[in-house]
Amino acid sequence: MNFYGQWRLLSFSRPADLLLLYCVIFSSLWWTGESDTSQDDVNALQAMLNSWGPRSSYILKWHGDDPCGSKWIGIKCDDSSPQRVTSIELSGLGLSGDIPPDISLLTELRTLDLSYNRLTGSIPTQIGELSHLSKLYLQYNYLNGGIPPEIGNIKNLSYISLNGNSLKGSIPHEIGLLENLFWLDLAKNDLSGGLPYSGDGGSSKNVGLDNLTKANHFHLNNNSFSGPIPEALCHERMSLIHLILDSNLLTGNIPSGLGLCGNLLIMKLNNNQLGGTIPQEISLLTNLTELQLHDNQLVGPLPDLSNFTNLALLDVSNNQLNMEFPLWMNSLRSLTDLDMSSASVSGTISASFFELPFLTAVKLANNEINGTLDLSMDTSQLMLLSMENNKIDSFTTAKYPPSVIRLFGNPVCETSKSTLSGELCQTNSSSSVSTYGQGNCSNTCPSGYQVYPAECSCAIPYEGVLIYRAPSFTQLINQTVLSVLASALAENLSVQRTQVVIKSAEFNAQNQLTVEIAVFPNGAEIRWSRDDFLKMSSILGRDGVAPDGFGPPMFQQSSFDYSVGSDTNGNTLSTVAIIGICIGSAALASIIIGVTCFVCLRKDKKNNKAAELSNPFGAWNTDWRDNDSAPKLKGARYFTFAELKKASNNFSESNEIGSGGYGKVYRGILTDGQQVAIKRAQTNSMQGAPEFKNEIELLSRVHHKNVVGLVGFCCDQGEQMLVYEYMAGGNLRDCLTGRSRIKLDWRRRIMIALGSARGITYLHELVSPPIIHRDIKSTNILLDEKKIAKVADFGLSKIAPEQDSRNQHVSTQVKGTLGYLDPEYYTTQQLTEKSDVYSFGVVLLELLTARTPIEHGKYVVKKVKEAVDKGGISAIRSMLDPRIKEESGIELNSFLHIALSCVEDTASARPSMGEVVKQLEEMVGHDYPESGSSNVDTPPKGVPARHLYGSDSEYMHTSRDSSDPSFPTSNIALSFGSR
C-alpha cells in the first residue's frame, strides 16, 4: 500500500482528533512528564510484566510508566503523592510466569489477586515484606514449593486463598501469628505433615492453628495431611464456622475437643482414616447444618443428635456403626439429606421419620434394615429413597414415582412374593444430566466458537465448572434444580437467563455436584470484553453463586484465549507505521501543530461541555458499553419507549400495580419473558437530564439480593422510566394484614427481618457513596416468589446535604412516613444512618404485632414501650399477632429486645444496622442465609472480616467506584417511595 493509501486509513471525525494524535505522539517522543506513581511501585509492576512474558503484555496492555495516572488494568492506587499501588486484581486472565521477588517493593499493597491464572514457580519469601497486605488470592494457579514462613509477618492478613495449586510441604507454624486472619483456604494442594498447633513443639514461638481465634474458615481438604486431628484445635475462644478437613490421610480418633467449637456450621472429616467411636461431645455442636463423617473407619453408634434442629445434611456412610436406626432421627426437623449407606445399620424405620418436612433424599443401601417400609404418608419433598440390599420384607406406599424408590436386593422384591412395580426392584442408572444442545439451530461455527442456542449465532462464551462440595440433595431426578441454578447465575452475573447454558451436571465420587457452564455474550457481541471477563471471574471465582440447598461452591475457570475473535483486520495499520507516518508528516510543523492543537482542544472542550449541559443524554445510545462518555452502568440496560409500551400492554390499567406522587407503576413482561415493574414518572416528578443520569448511575451500582434491583431505564420521547425486578410476593404490610395470600410463620418473619436488615446494611456500609433510605416501612419491604425480603422502593435520589463536624447531615426538609419517622431527625433535622435504624425498629414491631405504626391516633412504639416497662414480654402478649403467640418466649423476647434497641429516642443509643444484622443472626442461632450459602473456596472482595456464609455472603455484588471522577462522592440519601 502506498503512502497515500496508508494516510487515508487514518480517518478521524474531526480535525481536533487528528491534532490530538499529533500531540500525543510529540508528547511521548519529545517530552516526558513526571509519573504520578511511586517509582518503587512502577519497578515492581514492570518486573511482574517482564516475568509474565509477551502474551501477558498483550492481555494487560500496560503502557507507559505511570500505572496510577494511566489507570492500568487491574491496578488501584491511593491519593498520596506520589501515588502508591494499593490493589492488584488480575483474576482469570490467563497470565503465566513467576511471581517476582520485586513484589516486595509494593509496600502499600492491600489486595493481591492473581487467582485463576497459569502462574508457576514458588511463592516468593519477599511476600512477607508486604506489611499492609490484607487479602491474598492466589488460588487455582500452578504454584509449587512451600508456603513461606515469612507469611507470618503480614499481621494485617485477613484472607489467604492458596487452594487449587501444587504447593508442597507442611503448614508453617508461623501462620499462627496472623491474629487477624478470617479465612484460610489451602485446599487442593500437595501439602502434607501434621496440622500445626501451639503445643506440638514445632515452633519456638509456640503458635499454630489454634492461635487463629478470629478465623471463621479452615479449608484444608484434598491434601495429604496425616496424623491425628489435634485435641487443641478447638477451644472456647475459637470462632470457626467451617472446619473442612476431608480427603486427607488423617488418623486416630475424632477428638472430643471439637465440641468446643460451638459456632461450627459445617464440619467435614470424611474420606480420611479416622477410627474409634464418635465422641459424645459432638452432640454439643448444635448449630451444625452439615456433618460429614463418611468413608472413615469409625465404629460404634452415633451419639444422640436430637438437638441438631438446624442439621440439613448428615452423611456417615461407609463406616461400621453397628447400630439400630435411631428414633432421635425423627427430631431433625431441618434434615434434607441422610446417607447411612454401608454403615452396618439395622432395625426398622418408623413411618414418622418420612414425615420430616424437608426430607429430600435418604440413602440406606447395603445395611440390615428389616420389617415394613411404611411410606403411607405422602411426603411430596422426597426425591430419593435408596434402600437396596437390605432385609425389607413388606412395603406400604403413597403414590410415589418409581424413580424415587429403590428396593433392589430386598426380600420384598423376590419374584414369588412381590407384586411391586418392576422399576422399584431394578438397579438405577447414573444421575448425570446433560442439558446442552443447539436447540433448533442447524448452523456450525468455526474453531474456537460455539453455537449460542438462544440466537443461533456463533460466539465465544465464558466457561468453567462449578463444584458444590456439600449439596443438600444427592440426585438429579429432574432438571428443576438446574433451572434454579441457571436463574441464580443469570441474576448474579447480570445477564439474561437465555445467556446461561448448563452443559452438563453430575455427582462425582465424593458426592460433589459438578456443573459445567457456559455464559454467552448477548446481542451482536461475539466475545466478552476484558472488563466483563474480570467481573464474571470475580463473581464466580471469589464471591460464588450458591442457591438454596447447593452448599458451598468452588469454581474452576476454563482458559480464555484473547486471540480468538479479536480484530485482525489486515487493513489496520501497525503502531510502527502510524508513528512513522505521523513523525514524517509533522516533523517540520511540530511547533505550529502544538500551538494549534492547544487552541483547538480548548475550544473543542468548551463545545463538548456546552453540548453536555444542553443534552447530557446525547452521547447515550443502546450500545453504551462501547461509549466512554455514556454513564457507567453496572448491569442496567437501556429501553426504548416502544419496548416498555409493548411490555406493559400500552401502559394499560390492568397492568397497573401501584401509584404515588412520583407516578404509576406497571407490571411488564419483556421479550425474553422476564417480569418487571415499570415506574413511569409523571410530568411534575421528572428530573433534569443531568440529575436523572446521576440517578441511574447510582442505582445501577446497587446489587444485593436483599435490595430490589434496577433492570434498566428509559429516557425517550420525553419520558423518564425506571425498570425494576418484579416482586411477585407483594409487600410485607399486605402479608401481615391478610390482604396477601402469603402466610408468614414465625421462622419466615425472622428471615424477612434478617434479609431486609442485610439490605439496609448494604446500602449504609457497602455502597459508595453510602445511601440513607429515609423511608423504611413495611410497604417498602417486598417479597419475591421465594418470600425473600428485598428493600424497595428506589425513587429518584437526592444528594444528602453536606455533613457537619459530627458526620451528620443537616436537612432543610424532613422526609419519611409518619409512624416510622425518627423523632430526633424530625426535631433536629440532622440525618444519619440511625434514622433508618429507627424506622426498621418500627417494622420489627409490626412483625411482632401485625399492627400499623399508628392505631387510633396512638403510636405502636409508645404503646409497646409502656407495656414492656410495666411487665416485660408477658405484658405485650395480648398485642402480639395471634399467629405467633405460641412461639418460644425466649425468641420473642430476643426479637423484642432488638426492636426496642432500634427505636431508642436518641440516635446514639441505637445500634448500627450491621449490629442489628449480627443480633438477628445470633438470635436465629446460625448464619444460614434464606436463599443459599456462598463460596467456600474464596471470599468476596470488599467484605468486612466476619464470615462469608450468611450476612457477608450476600454482600457479593458491592460496587465501590469512588475512584470514578464522574460520580459524586458525598453520601446519598434516597427519597424512596412516593413524594
Tens of pLDDT, residues 158-178: 999 999 999 999 999 999 999
Burial environment of residue 433 by CB neighbours within 10 A (0 to 12, 13 to 18, 19 or more): middle
Q: What angle do CA 443, 445, 446 make, to 5 degrees?
A: 150
Residue 804 CA to residue 798 CA, distance in Å, equals 18
Structural contact between residues 243 and 268, judged by C-beta atoms closer than 8 angstroms: yes
Q: What is the pLDDT of residues 421-439, one digit of tens each?
A: 566 787 654 455 555 556 6
Domain with CATH 1.10.510.10 in the chain: 732-974
Residue 472's pLDDT band, with cuts at 50, 70 and 90, is low
For 694-735, how does the pLDDT look when each residue is reduced to its tens digit (9 = 90+)? Answer: 778 878 878 888 999 889 999 888 889 999 999 989 899 999
Indicate whether 136 pLDDT > 90.
yes
Averaged pLDDT of the chain: 79
CATH class of 39-311: alpha beta
Average pLDDT over residues 530-543: 74
- pLDDT exceeds 50 at position 557: yes
Per residue in 445-456, pLDDT (tens digit) is 887 788 888 888
Alpha carbons 876 and 789: distance in angstroms, whole number: 26
Q: Where are the domain boundaries for CATH 3.30.70 in the chain? A: 450-557
Residues at the binding site for ATP are: 679
Rounded CA separation 486/561 (Å): 24
* CATH code for the part of the protein at 732-974: 1.10.510.10
Residues 6+ apart with CB under 8 A from 945: 158, 159, 180, 182, 214
Omega before residue 911 within 30° of 0, cis = no
By C-alpha distance, which of 889, 763, 766 is closest to 835? 763
**Which residue positions form the known binding site?**
679
The 3-state secondary structure of 461-478 reads: CEEEEEEECCCCCCCCCC
Question: Is the pLDDT assigned to residue 417 strictly greater than 60?
Answer: no
Cα distance between residue 282 and residue 182, in whole Å: 24
Cell 455464559 sits on residue: 519
Indicate whether 621 pLDDT > 50: no
Coil vs helix vs strand at 568: coil
Q: Please say if the pLDDT value at position 615 is more than 50.
A: no
Of residues 315, 337, 339, 775, which has the active-site annotation? 775
CB 136 within 8 A of CB 185: no
**Position 924 confidence tier, pLDDT thresholds 50, 70, 90:** confident
**How far apart are the C-alpha atoms of 930 and 860, rounded to whole Å?**
28
Architecture label for domain 450-557: 2-Layer Sandwich (3.30)
Whether the predicted pLDDT of 364 surpasses 90:
yes
pLDDT at 420 over 80: no
Rounded Cα distance between 39 and 709, Å, is 42
CA 976 to CA 776: how far, in whole Å?
Answer: 8
DSSP 3-state of 505: strand
| Among 529, 139, 523, 470, CA closest to 337 | 470
With a cut of 80, say whether residue 576 has pLDDT above it: no
Q: Is 556 helix (H, G, I), strand (E, B) or coil?
A: strand
Q: What is the pLDDT of residue 806?
A: 43
Residue pair 333/355 in contact by the 8 Å Cβ criterion: no
The pLDDT, as a whole number, for residue 259 is 96
Residue-wise DSSP of 157-217: --EEE--SS--EE---GGGGG-TT--EEE--SSEEEEPPP-TTSS--TT---GGG-TT--E
- Rounded to whole angstroms, the Cα distance separating 359 from 291 reads 16
Is 775 an active-site residue? yes
Is the pLDDT at 392 greater than 80, yes or no? yes
Q: If you average pLDDT over residues 926-934, what whole number do you get?
A: 39
Q: Which CATH architecture has domain 624-725?
A: 2-Layer Sandwich (3.30)
Is cis: bond before 82, omega within 30 of 0?
yes
pTM for the full predicted model:
0.55
Which percentage of the chain shows pLDDT scores above 70?
Answer: 74
Cβ-based neighbour number of residue 550 at 10 Å: 24
Helix (H, G, I), strand (E, B) or coil at 680: strand
* Averaged pLDDT for residues 301-308: 95
